Each structure stands twice: as C-alpha cells, then as structure tokens.
Structure 1
Amino acid sequence: MISNVKSVLVQRKSKSLVFSSLVVFVMFIAVRLHIKCSNIQATGTLSTGALKNHGAHPSTSKYNSSDQNGRKVKPIDCKDLRHGLVGELKMAKHNATNHTLHTEPAPEALPTYTTDKRGRWFPLSCQPKQKTVIVIPFRDRYEHLKIFIEHFVPILQRQLLDYIIVVVEQDFTQNFNRGFLFNVGYKEALLLTKDNPAPLCMIQHDVDLLLENDRMIYECSKNPTHFSVSLDKFKYRLLYSSSFGGVTAVLGEQFERSNGYSNVFFFWGGEDDDFRNRLHVTGYRTIQYKNASIARYSMLKHQSAEVIKARLDALIFGNKIYHCDGLNSLDYTVKSRTFEKHYVLIKINVPSVLKTSSICRNCISKHLKTNDTYLPKVCR
C-alpha cells in the first residue's frame, strides 16, 4: 500500500516537472520572438505607431536608431535601400516638350515618408547621410515650377533623400540676379534645417531643367560637382569643359568658404563662372559629373535672356572682391514665406538703390577704382 502511494507521488512529481519545463520553454520562445520582432522594426519595417505618427516633427523621429527597449541600434544607410529606382525617365522629355504634368508611375512599394510641414521631407525607414537642400532661383515662371515639383518629388523620394526644396522669388525692382538668389536660398535653408545636424548638400537648380534618370542621386561629394553635363538643348554635349551652370552640387562648408555667389550679376550669365572661380581660389577642384549617360536633362522651353557684355567686366573683377562680395554682404528683405506641401516659397525684395547696400559701401568702393565698367555702375 505504502509503495503504491509512493509510486503515485513520484508520477505526479514527474508530471509537474515536465509541465514546469514546458512553461519555461514557452516563455523562452516568447521572449526570443519579442526580441526578433523588435529588431525587425529597427531594421526598416514600419510599426503601426510609426504610421500613425506619419506627420510627426523630425525631432521625434530617430530613423529607427533604437529598439522598443531603448537600446541603440545602428541606423540603416538609405543607399542600401534604394531598390525603387527606375532609371531612365521617358516622361521627362515629354514634359519638357509639351509642358504637361505627367510623371513616371511610382513603384508599388515606396518607403514611408514624413514631413515637418515646413518643407522638409525625409524617410522613416533609413537615415540619409546628408540633408539635401534644392535651391531654385525664380521669378514669374509658375508653370515651370508646377512641372518641376510634379516631376522631381517622386524622384527625390525614390532616392530616399532627406530633402527640402527652397524657391526664392525675386521682385521686379532690379534685373534678375541668379547668384543673389542662391545666396538668399542658402541663408534661408540654414534656418529651415537648423534642427537637422547632418551635413548640408546644396543643389543649385534652374527651374527649367528636368532630370532624365533617377539613378543620378542628388547628393554632394568632396568636390563641387556640375550635374547638368548633358542637356537636350545642346544635343547632350557639354557646352564647354569648365561649365558650372544649370544644376550644381556643393557642400555647405564649400559654399561658406568661397563666400557664395557674387551679388552684383544683375543680368543673365557669368555668375556661374564667377562662382567656379571662387571655388578654385579657395582651394576646391570643381568636377563634371562622372557618368554623362545618366546626368541628362531636358529643358523646358522659354525665351532666352539677352547676353550683356558687362558680365565679362564682372568676371574680370570677381577675384578681387570675392572675399567681401557674397554671403557676408547679402542685403535683402523677406516679403513672405509660404510653406507649400512640397516646397517653401520665399519672396524677397532686392535693394532698389544698390549704392546704399553693404556690397557697394564696404566692398566695391574700397577695392575697385571708378571706371566705365559694370561693377562700379551698380553702386552709383
């Protein structure tokens, strides 16, 4: 009798141990699954919470740099996730020729983007190494701007860029000054992106140029780079070997060190060559984009501006005044800042009487003699 009782107790104890072991094993599997799911979220799969916070301010987004337990996870480089690029964009030529708004069909699965609702857009699934600022000098070409935005937004998001498009519109008190507007755009971009510590990549972009291949990534390299090396207008040939107009890319530190563009090119042409010279004088080597087969652009049709001889005079004197004519002598007034869905429109007033501006008072009058050239005349 006693032996039978002992046998029953042993069997019950054995079953209890098996059950306890099974419970421990199930808990172990559950913990492993939880950790694995956390890692999956950290490596790019968006959680429900992330989707709900689609419009969150960038300061609350850490590019998935930590898991649910707050542990640091190395962020994913966006270049490793650029699987949605489509290559040649057949609609670019069509858009440029017909001034239509048709764009390439977007890939089915695009990484989720969010915005700070102040012009900046960035991916939630990875971390770009730079912040891309596209500055467009602009005046009264709203049809072109509409086409530009429709064309480029899908491209920039397929390239997984942290970007902002800054459109700087000049009033009509002076002739158009492309370089001046680039300087303004850079200053304004610094304010708009001050919460983003990534290196600034400035893309200086004419509004009438449409990229034909999205594999040309809008990022900066260690050398200031001319992007628009192949234009349909010039039969996809480089106009001249040192060309540096149309679309160019420079790092913020390169733009700062060269003092930006000259502020006195109130006419068409020359300011891009002067800027290239500034970069050379300050120790940078400008290059053409390495792959001309993808650095192709279609140009929207527009009336060409008159070439003014005075630009040659401005180029001659440029090296003498670059240290005081540029970012450090910029004088403008902001009329309005409008935050559109995909770009920021900044309307500015240019001084109507340049002789009272800092460029004339503190730079040209001190470093150039009065003679019959354009530069002194803008200060009279």
Structure 2
Amino acid sequence: MSLSRVENPCFLLFLLVFQAVFILILYRGGASSVFRGFLESQRVLDYSKSHDVYTNLSLLVPAGGGAALPYCSAHSPIAVGPLAITFDVLPSERMIIQKNPFVQSGGQYRPPHCLARYKSAILVAYSNQEKYLHHLLYYIHPFLQRQQLSYRIYLIQQVGNGTFNRAKLLNVGVREALKDEDWDCLLLHDVDLVPENDYNLYVCDEYYPKHVASAMDKFQYKIQLAGMRIVRTPPHLGRYKAMDYKRETEEPWRRPASYHNTGKTWKDDGMNSLEFKLLSRTKHPLYTNITVDIGYVPPFS
C-alpha cells in the first residue's frame, strides 16, 4: 500500500467507517444479528400490515418429558410486530379466559416451554372503567405472552369519595406487587391504552426509567421534575391506541394531573409518605385486584 493512498482523506474516512461497522457487528452479536435488526426496524414501520393479537399463541405448548426447561430465546421467535387493534366489540371475561389458557389465577403467566429471562409486573390504576379493562385484558395478555415474559397484572382500585389519584394508586401497587415477587420490572400502565406493536418490550432499562409509550407523551411530571434521564422506546415501536368511550353510564376518568399541582407536591407524594388502608386483595382469573382507601384527596382549584 502506497503512502499517498494512506494519506488520502477519502481512504482514511473509509477506514474509520469500516472500523465503526466492524465494532458494531461485534457488539451486537455478529453480522446476522445486525442485519436482522435492521430488517426488523424497517418491517415494524409498516402498520398497514398488522396482525391479530392472538397470532402464534397456538405455538406455546408445554415442554414434555419432565426435563429442565431451557431459557427463553433472547429475541422471541413468535413476536409479529404491528397489531390490529379495534374496540368495536366488547370482549367478555369468559372469552378472554378461553383465549389465554396458560394464564393462571391472579393474572399470572409463565412461559410453558422455557424459563423467562424477565419478570414484569403490570400495574393499572382503576376506577369504574370496566369496558376499558376488558379491552386492555383482551390485548395485553397475548401481547406479553409473545414476548416470553413471566408476568402478573395488578389492578389497584380506589374506593371512597376522594379525587381519583393515579399516582398514589400506582405507588400502592408497587408496594403490594413487591410482596409477591422480586420483579425485574414494574410497569405503570393506563387502563385506556393498548400497545400496537409487540416489539415494544415490557422490560426495564438497567439504569434509567423507561417510557414505553413514546408516541404518546403523558405523565412525565415527576421524572422530569426530578431531573432524571428517561430512556424512550423508539416512536415507531411505542405506538398505542387510546380508547374513547362517550361514557354515558360511566363517570369520567379524571386524570390526576388536572387536579394536583405536581410541581409543588411531587416530593411529598411518593413512596416515602405513602399512607393507605388495604381493604381487599383478590385473585381474579385475569388479574389480581387490590382495593384500597387512600383517604380524602381534595382537588386543587
């Protein structure tokens, strides 16, 4: 190789790019992994080609022979990407149970064919939103199963005359869920939002809070006020479909941001000052219900 060629700026740039690509391939587990990731990132953008949310669940069968289960693959082979979500027909609880035969009492699931790499608790603050709940359960169970997670769904229900306080209910859910399992991840979920892509993994970042609903920026008050870094799911994966019933017979779901001055109270409205009365804890076929009295919470004017 001649000296003049080495000193050529274009050739030096080529070397730098080649080295960067080579390091990326080694870091991501080989060339096939890198190119597969690239292809998947392109494929998941096409939401015009969506799949039924129960696609591939028939492939989940218990391992036979009594042998020790292997760990689940790092990338689920039964994930499909974009999902067809519609709220036209309200699914019954019986239908949801029948379509999710491996979900155990309390809304708990473990993959029947492998050992899950992650354990996630899904915490849902709830107040008289039965239609929303049925739709969420219909979609979220198969969504999580295709990700090969070990999970449980918790419903934290507020009673009393106080203003609906989502933040406090979710704090209660965190405390109660940790009594059951040393969860790898605690996901705070809205009852009226359904994920549209099962490549949106319900697992936590190792260091920072993770915002999975990146295409719907809501409820970031405390994280932003605390000056914490947020890890965001790429917007083409973090898409959610929101339910919007007219609620002729239901009370409007009042989000706490409308009534609480979060900028002034966030330091005192957390786990360090959590007070509540646990009224009941019941295992339902599709979720664990936790009913609490958090006391009277006056609205801010």
**Superposition map of 1:1-380 within 5 A:** 46-49=63-66, 64=68, 75-80=70-75, 82-90=76-84, 92=85, 94-95=86-87, 98=88, 100-101=90-91, 113=102, 115=104, 117-193=105-181, 197=182, 199-222=183-206, 223-231=208-216, 243-245=217-219, 272-278=220-226, 280=227, 284-289=228-233, 291-302=234-245, 303=252, 305=254, 311=260, 313-318=261-266, 322=267, 325-352=269-296, 374=300
Give me the whole-angstrom Cα distance separating, in 2, the residues matched to 1:219 and 1:120.
16
Q: Which secondary structure does the structure 1 equivalent of 2:164 belong to?
A: coil
Q: Which secondary structure does the structure 1 equivalent of 2:280 belong to?
A: strand
Q: 2:7 aligns to what?
A: none
Residue 86 of structure 1 aligns with an amino acid whose one-letter code is V
RMSD: 3.3
Aligned residues: 229
Give me the whole-angstrom Cα distance separating, in 2, the residues matched to 1:211 and 1:184.
24
Q: CA deviation at 1:48?
A: 4.9
Give me the whole-angstrom Cα distance separating, in 1, the residues matched to 2:115 and 2:255.
44
Unpaired stretches in structure 1, ≥5 consecutive residues: 1-43, 51-63, 66-74, 103-110, 232-242, 246-271, 355-372
Residue pair 1:244, 1:276 contacting (<8 A) in 2 also: no
Q: Which secondary structure does the structure 2 equivalent of 1:221 belong to?
A: coil
Give me the whole-angstrom Cα distance separating, in 2, the residues matched to 1:317 and 1:332.
18
Q: CA deviation at 1:316?
A: 3.5
Q: CA deviation at 1:341?
A: 1.3
Unpaired stretches in structure 2, ≥5 consecutive residues: 1-60, 93-99, 246-251
Q: CA deviation at 1:310?
A: 6.0
Residue pair 2:136, 2:194 contacting (<8 A) in 1 also: yes
Give me the whole-angstrom Cα distance separating, in 1, the residues matched to 2:211 and 2:71.
28
Q: Which secondary structure does the structure 1 equivalent of 2:154 belong to?
A: strand
**Which stretch shows the higher mean deviation, 335-344 or 176-185?**
335-344
| Identity %, equivalent residues | 26
Name the one with the larger helix percent.
1
Give me the whole-angstrom Cα distance separating, in 2, the residues matched to 1:293 and 1:353.
38
Q: CA deviation at 1:339?
A: 0.7
Give me the whole-angstrom Cα distance separating, in 2, the residues matched to 1:148 and 1:45.
26
For each residue in 1:308-350, what CA deviation from the matched residue of structure 2 results, as whole angstroms up to 9, or x when unmatched? 7764x441453xxx2x541122111122222111211111112
Residue 127 of structure 1 aligns with an amino acid whose one-letter code is L
**Which stretch shows the higher mean deviation, 159-168 or 299-308?**
299-308
For each residue in 1:214-240, what CA deviation from the matched residue of structure 2 results, as whole angstroms up to 9, or x when unmatched? 121111112211111225xxxxxxxxx
Residue 279 of structure 2 aligns with an amino acid whose one-letter code is K
Could you tell me the TM-score, scaled by structure 1's length? 0.53
Q: Which secondary structure does the structure 2 equivalent of 1:191 belong to?
A: coil
Q: 1:113 to 1:349 in 2, by over 3 A?
A: same
Give me the whole-angstrom Cα distance separating, in 2, the residues matched to 1:190 and 1:200.
10
Could you tell me the TM-score, scaled by structure 2's length? 0.66
Higher-Rg member (1/2):
1
Q: 1:307 to 1:344 in 2, by over 3 A?
A: closer
Q: Which secondary structure does the structure 2 equivalent of 1:186 belong to?
A: helix
Residue pair 1:137, 1:167 contacting (<8 A) in 2 also: yes
Q: Which secondary structure does the structure 1 equivalent of 2:281 belong to?
A: strand
User: Could you list the runs of 4 or more consecutive aligned residues of structure 1 that deviate by over 2 angstroms after TM superposition?
Assistant: 77-80, 98-102, 111-115, 117-120, 124-130, 274-278, 302-311
